[in-house]
A = this chain, B = another copy of it.
């Protein structure tokens, strides 16, 4: 089968690999219908995260079940399933509490599972899914219907970006009437805009200096866009809000600057939901939290736990998070997909095997 391997910085290849097979009774094998490239995939691509040896890459997918192990009863061959970007057992305390991304046995795509078997990447024609019983999320409709309705890209976002944007908003306690600032105009930030509106925010201010993304943010529900960043961004926000600040902010980048901007954007007692993977010195200045009574919550999104809430709104078209895909390419052209995102010619690229 064709599968994406990263060999080194800026060296991503779609290449022939052995077809996956069931290795344990807890596995499933899927045929991938659509996958995509994540902003976090750009880190190894850019060399920010070193690639010590070649490995499969990609962690977002919607697929069709081809085969399940003897212990897997949650889905059967032919089912269309979305798979969250982190695989989980469903039984440990964190899973039971609704945080499968903090699962005791959490397993990532392109890594090694708890039995020591290599795990495929999602940017592939096929994948073996360990911990399949809890990790597969059946959509409940035939693929032909979903394709005909154009729902595949929207459903694919439940795998990561839409669930992550929702997690930022939930972690920031967004509720009816809130004013919410969104830091980051990438695919996650844009999904954060959708999520904040969906949870009842009255005013959603997107920080963006890219005209295309700002326009999309408005289309997805942002009521205002602020182009300034950092302290100037906070000052512009305060002016926009008549001297006030936001009730909540979504930190969808992961740098020290973006966290500072999110913390500076909220009033005393405000809440920051953070989902930007921390890097480059990202930190939480505890003195500021203390003086201003700011709550910081979030982290790696428990995508599997959020899917049940989000699925009906995707199926009904109430939310259309697939709009974050501004390019679609065949899996064979995966190297071009990475390059397009790296060079910011695309926000997020959907891949079709």
Which residues of A does B touch, CB under 8 Å?
93-94, 97-99, 101-103, 171, 243-245, 247, 259, 267-271, 274, 277-278, 282-284, 286-287, 289-300, 302
What are the residues of chain B within 8 A of A278 when measuring CB–CB?
A: 286-287, 290
Question: Complex formed: what's the CA distance from A282 to B288 in Å?
Answer: 12
Name the one of B103, B267, B287, B299 contacting A289, with C-beta atoms under 8 angstroms.
Answer: B299
What are the residues of chain B within 8 A of A102 when measuring CB–CB?
A: 267-269, 291-293
B294 touching A97, Cβ below 8 Å: no
What are the residues of chain B within 8 A of A292 when measuring CB–CB?
A: 94, 102, 299
What are 26 A-to-B residue pairs whose CB atoms are below 8 Å? A93-B244, A93-B267, A94-B267, A94-B268, A94-B269, A97-B247, A97-B268, A97-B270, A99-B267, A99-B268, A101-B268, A101-B293, A102-B291, A103-B268, A271-B297, A278-B286, A282-B286, A283-B284, A289-B299, A290-B299, A291-B299, A291-B300, A292-B299, A293-B299, A295-B295, A295-B296
Question: Complex formed: what's the CA distance from A259 to B293 in Å?
Answer: 16
B295 touching A97, Cβ below 8 Å: no
What are the residues of chain B within 8 A of A247 when measuring CB–CB?
A: 97
What are the residues of chain B within 8 A of A287 when measuring CB–CB?
A: 278
Chain B: minimal CB distance from A351 (Å): 27
* Ranked 7 nearest A-B pairs via Cβ: A102-B268, A94-B268, A295-B297, A99-B269, A293-B299, A290-B299, A99-B268
Chain B: minimal CB distance from A196 (Å): 18
Chain B: minimal CB distance from A178 (Å): 11
Name the one of B245, B268, B283, B297 contacting A296, with C-beta atoms under 8 angstroms.
Answer: B297
Chain B: minimal CB distance from A135 (Å): 16
Name the one of B274, B294, B297 contacting A299, with C-beta atoms under 8 angstroms.
Answer: B294
Name the one of B269, B277, B286, B297 contacting A98, with C-beta atoms under 8 angstroms.
Answer: B269
A289 touching B296, Cβ below 8 Å: yes
Chain B: minimal CB distance from A230 (Å): 19
Chain B: minimal CB distance from A18 (Å): 32
What are the residues of chain B within 8 A of A293 when measuring CB–CB?
A: 94, 99, 101-102, 297-300, 302
Name the one of B94, B268, B299 contacting A93, with C-beta atoms under 8 angstroms.
Answer: B268
**Nearest opposing residue in chain B for A279, CB measure:** B287
Question: Complex formed: what's the CA distance from A4 to B242 in Å?
Answer: 43
Question: Complex formed: what's the CA distance from A259 to B252 in Å?
Answer: 25
Chain B: minimal CB distance from A295 (Å): 3
A97 touching B267, Cβ below 8 Å: yes
What are the residues of chain B within 8 A of A299 when measuring CB–CB?
A: 289-294
Supplied contacts A269-B302, A297-B297, 6 more A-B pairs, CB within 8 Å: A97-B247, A99-B267, A99-B268, A102-B269, A102-B292, A293-B297
